[in-house]
Structure 1
Amino acid sequence: MGTNQTKGTHTFYTSFGRIIAFRENGILKAKNIRYAYSERFKKPIAVQPSLGEIMFPEKTPACPQNISPLLEKMIGKTNLDNFEVDESPQFISVFRPENCAENEKLSVIVWIHGGSYEIGCGDIPTADPTDWVKEQNVIVVTVSYRLGIFGFLGGNEEKPANLGLFDLIEALKWIKNNIESFGGDSENITLFGQSSGGDLIAHLLLSDGIENLFKRVIIHSAPLGLRKNRQKMVTEFLKNTQIFNDKSDILEIIENYKNLAPSFLKYGLKAAMPFGPQYGFPPLCNEWEAEEKWKEKAKKIDVLIGLNDEETSFYLKTSDTINKYFPVKVLNRAIRTTTEIIYGKPAEDFAKDFARAGGNLYLFRIYPRFMVSNYFLGAHAIDLPFIFGNESAWKNAGILKNIPWKYMDENGKKLRKLWTEFANTGKISDDSERPEILEVFKV
């Protein structure tokens, strides 16, 4: 490691190259380092080390995607001027405390973003880990990977399945090989993901080629209840989209694939998430082997898994149609039922199986209980502002309507401290202070 003379920047000397970071708010940020390249519908190829300086791009690269009106309403507006569409979006960003002891090795947390396998990228303001890194003296690495039709729809020679999963494996190899140059402990890497990011982590546990790349996982709100019996739906989706090939215009693909998606009426809840990892294709096992494979990992990987109390209120309470035609009691029952089907029971089943196989596992549930007029206190994504803080990014979020930031901040600091304890040690002590929003216990 070393510092150059340019004010406000820092140079990390790594075997990958000289990586330029900038200083901001007590943090060193090495942003948007390319770890792999890919051509459309092809596997990623790792980037080779460089002799020159590796600079961060002016704009944040993001996989082509449609803006989600629901996320705009619930989380906040996306400033498109800050992003650059890139069909090869394999980038990572490293966030590290500015002041570290020379030989100190910090725990590493790798953030894998959610977004139903269709939207998002690693580097967005609502998941800026500055508060976490600064408070808890850890390194956080954020990862971008291919999404949607480019990363999670395939199953033939022209369009292989699981390309986004292959991207992530390349990212984890890069982190394992290079993180010590940033002051990180390559033997203490924790994967952390929310929603489809959590689902991805569950499937990384099943993937070939991940041995020794990470030690622990934190899985928030993974829709594990949607993972089974998907192949017929995916095959239909793949067939419907065969008109798109490696020569098709990106905008044409993005604007039109939605019209070809599988029918919700035919496939039920699964069709709400038409993209995802596909069993029976590299690097994954067959679907019926998943439970046994997870058990094989039980003694090797520490797990912290859980959900928010009313996950599906994020979707059901924002629908004008549902609110118009269904009484509150019926709606609340539907939220409870769908939350347990998609998130709750699958997490509990995973936890019990993993623990029975000798694994070290903690199960949690987040129950915000601030007594205000707010529909979304246990909704999907309510955990994110607690975990990441960053008040300015969340100030207009519909999901936090009428909740004072002080409440988010006080609980968030305690939650970040607890999750860091798990990342550091694989344990959550009985003596550690719990935020009032949380129930967590060892299974």
Structure 2
Amino acid sequence: MTTQQHSGILTFQTPSGKISAIQENGVIRAKSIRYARSGRYQKPVPVDVGFHKIPEKTPVCPQHISPLLERLIQKTDVEQFEPDESPQFLTVTRPLNPNENDNLPVVVWIHGGSYEIGCGDLPTSDPSVWVKEQRIVIVSVSYRLGLFGFLGGSEERPANLGLFDIMEALRWIRKNIRSFGGNPGNITLFGQSSGGDAIAHLMISEGTDGLFQRAIIHSAPLGFRLKRQKMSLEFFRKTEFLKHEEDPLKMVDEYVNFLPSFRKYGLKTAMPFCTQYGSAPLCTEEESLERWKKNAEKYDVLIGSNQDETAFYVKTAQEGLYTYLHNRILNSIVRKTTESIYEKPADAFAVNYADGGGNVYRFTLRLTLKNHNIGASHCIDLPLIFENGEAWKDSELLKEIPWKYIQENGRKLRTLWAEFAATGKISENQELPEMLELRKI
């Protein structure tokens, strides 16, 4: 590992070229490194950067801003981002004082956002605190979303291109991460929501052998993964006319017009984009459970969800209607949808995986504060892992939750998750966060 520093800029010499990095927030960050390029509806092609300079704006896949998620998490400062239809970029964050002997565990962050929104680099997923505390390397990956990455049905418009992007990122990491002090033989994929769903499917994808050793899967909506073919085909056909539209932002504006017509397909229409079985690199839907069982000895798995996953969506949509009766009805809806979309599918995944001989832990996060109406909703885990008080200060999700409570639980959770990333195990003598229920399956 060779580094040079000029005017606050560090340069890492890697097999793919010279990578610029900066020191900030007590870590070293090499931001927005291009790992591949792609034409529209084409598979990604790996690239060598030659000499990488940190761009002024963060590249993102063209997407809509979600008003609901802006309330849930944080308002988006659009001036900080640059839409790019080929958004194959990653950011490496590592501890200070790199040296030749570093062989640090590597965690690869796969962001969520319903396969439709988000990117790897957001203030609300800043890994600086975790990197400093645990001396690990974290790589945050951006990939194609929506129409560009997760809707296909023909040779001209293939499915699962976003998965191929992530696979290409993992190949880049395996090739280059040693230059940042990371161990290419100790890589853990960590994803939340659709990011967790993507990781589960990378575990059964062709072409991923040797690219990672462990998986941490948070709040994956595995209940949405089945019987999607008819809906996906209809969505594919209705958006076929957009494939030659030159302006990708116009493509994004146009497809939303068709979403109301999919309500007939039930709850799964809440996530119109998804991985598609029977298209490369995935097996058929019918083969998936057996494939996970067959691959169970390849990967250590930590999988779980939050106690009240759907609460923010269900309850804030009814704000102002909180009579006792309404609360009882809404709580029942939250419990049933959380069970069907997240809990029962995660339980089935874990049991099937253990039956195949896999090393698997199952966790649940609960809010232990009294008289909190929302509870442990979707995304409550993110500020625990990515502690950043400034980024989360306006989040309605954390309204009336003391930041000290998040910090205390988060510090303990990060310690456990870092141990799992390093070893595939969680020691029995480790102190558990108040919010965490954990069991080995």
Q: TM-score range by the shorter chain?
A: over 0.9
Contact 1:316 1:322 in 2 (8 A): no
Instruction: String of CA shifts for 1:169-199, please: whole Å, max 9, x gaps.
Output: 1001101111111100001000000000000
1:45-64 equivalent positions in 2, closer than 5 A: 45-48=45-48, 50=50, 53-64=51-62
Larger CA deviation: 285-294 vs 262-271: 262-271
- Which position in structure 2 is the counterpart of 1:233? 231
- Which position in structure 2 is the counterpart of 1:347? 346
Structure 2 gaps of 5+ residues are none
- Which position in structure 2 is the counterpart of 1:143? 141
How many Å separate the matches in 2 of 1:323 and 1:71?
21
Contact 2:34 2:49 in 1 (8 A): no
Instruction: String of CA shifts for 1:186-221, please: whole Å, max 9, x gaps.
Output: 010000000000000011011100000000000000
Contact 1:366 1:378 in 2 (8 A): yes
Instruction: String of CA shifts for 1:359-402, please: whole Å, max 9, x gaps.
Output: 10000000021235x43321000000011101110011000001
1:357-372 equivalent positions in 2, closer than 5 A: 357-371=356-370
- Which position in structure 2 is the counterpart of 1:286? 284
Q: Does residue 73 of structure 2 align to residue 87 of structure 1?
A: no
How many Å separate the matches in 2 of 1:20 and 1:370?
44
1:389-428 equivalent positions in 2, closer than 5 A: 389-428=387-426
**Which residue identity is paired with 2:285?**
E
Contact 2:245 2:251 in 1 (8 A): no
**Which residue identity is paired with 1:4?**
Q
Q: 1:216 to 1:240 in 2, by over 3 A?
A: same
Larger CA deviation: 119-128 vs 253-262: 253-262
Larger CA deviation: 134-143 vs 101-110: 101-110
1:160-309 equivalent positions in 2, closer than 5 A: 160-261=158-259, 263-309=261-307
How many Å separate the matches in 1 of 2:332 and 2:245?
47
Q: How many residues matched?
A: 440
- Which position in structure 2 is the counterpart of 1:436? 434
**Which residue identity is paired with 1:399?**
L
Q: Structure 1 length as normaliser, TM-score?
A: 0.97
Q: Does residue 355 of structure 2 align to residue 356 of structure 1?
A: yes
- Which position in structure 2 is the counterpart of 1:14? 14
Contact 2:98 2:180 in 1 (8 A): no
Instruction: String of CA shifts for 1:324-362, please: whole Å, max 9, x gaps.
Output: 797110110110000000000000000001111111000
Instruction: String of CA shifts for 1:51-77, please: whole Å, max 9, x gaps.
Output: xx2111110000000000001111111
Instruction: String of CA shifts for 1:239-296, please: whole Å, max 9, x gaps.
Output: 1111101344222211110111263541001111110110000010011000011011
Instruction: String of CA shifts for 1:38-93, please: whole Å, max 9, x gaps.
Output: 1111111111352xx21111100000000000011111110011000111000000
- Which position in structure 1 is the counterpart of 2:29? 29
Contact 1:414 1:433 in 2 (8 A): yes
How many Å separate the matches in 2 of 1:265 and 1:164?
25
Q: 1:314 aligns with which of 296, 312, 315?
A: 312
Contact 2:63 2:249 in 1 (8 A): no
Contact 1:263 1:271 in 2 (8 A): no
**Which residue identity is paired with 2:354?**
A
Contact 1:376 1:400 in 2 (8 A): no
Larger CA deviation: 422-431 vs 251-260: 251-260
How many Å separate the matches in 1 of 2:18 and 2:297?
38
Q: 2:121 aligns with which of 110, 123, 133?
A: 123
Instruction: String of CA shifts for 1:99-134, please: whole Å, max 9, x gaps.
Output: 244312000000000000100000000000000000
**Which residue identity is paired with 2:330?**
L
How many Å separate the matches in 2 of 1:359 and 1:322?
47
Contact 1:129 1:140 in 2 (8 A): yes
Q: Does residue 40 of structure 2 align to residue 44 of structure 1?
A: no
How many Å separate the matches in 2 of 1:375 and 1:383?
17
How many Å separate the matches in 1 of 2:260 and 2:170?
32
Pairwise CA distance, 1:158: 1.9
Pairwise CA distance, 1:322: 9.8
Instruction: String of CA shifts for 1:9-37, please: whole Å, max 9, x gaps.
Output: 21111110010100113211000000010
How many Å separate the matches in 2 of 1:46 and 1:59?
22
* Aligned-pair identity (%): 57
Structure 1 gaps of 5+ residues are none
- Which position in structure 2 is the counterpart of 1:381? 379
How many Å separate the matches in 1 of 2:227 and 2:11?
49
**Which residue identity is paired with 2:101?**
N
Q: What is the SS of the residue equivalent to 2:147?
A: helix
Pairwise CA distance, 1:3: 3.4
Contact 2:219 2:305 in 1 (8 A): yes
Q: Structure 2 length as normaliser, TM-score?
A: 0.97
**Which residue identity is paired with 2:47?**
V
Instruction: String of CA shifts for 1:144-178, please: whole Å, max 9, x gaps.
Output: 00000110011112211111111011001101111
Cα RMSD for the two superposed structures: 1.4
Q: 1:396 to 1:49 in 2, by over 3 A?
A: closer
**Which residue identity is paired with 1:91?**
F
Q: What is the SS of the residue equivalent to 2:215?
A: strand
Larger CA deviation: 161-170 vs 1-10: 1-10
Contact 1:15 1:49 in 2 (8 A): no
Pairwise CA distance, 1:314: 2.2
Q: 1:264 to 1:334 in 2, by over 3 A?
A: farther
Q: 1:102 to 1:285 in 2, by over 3 A?
A: same
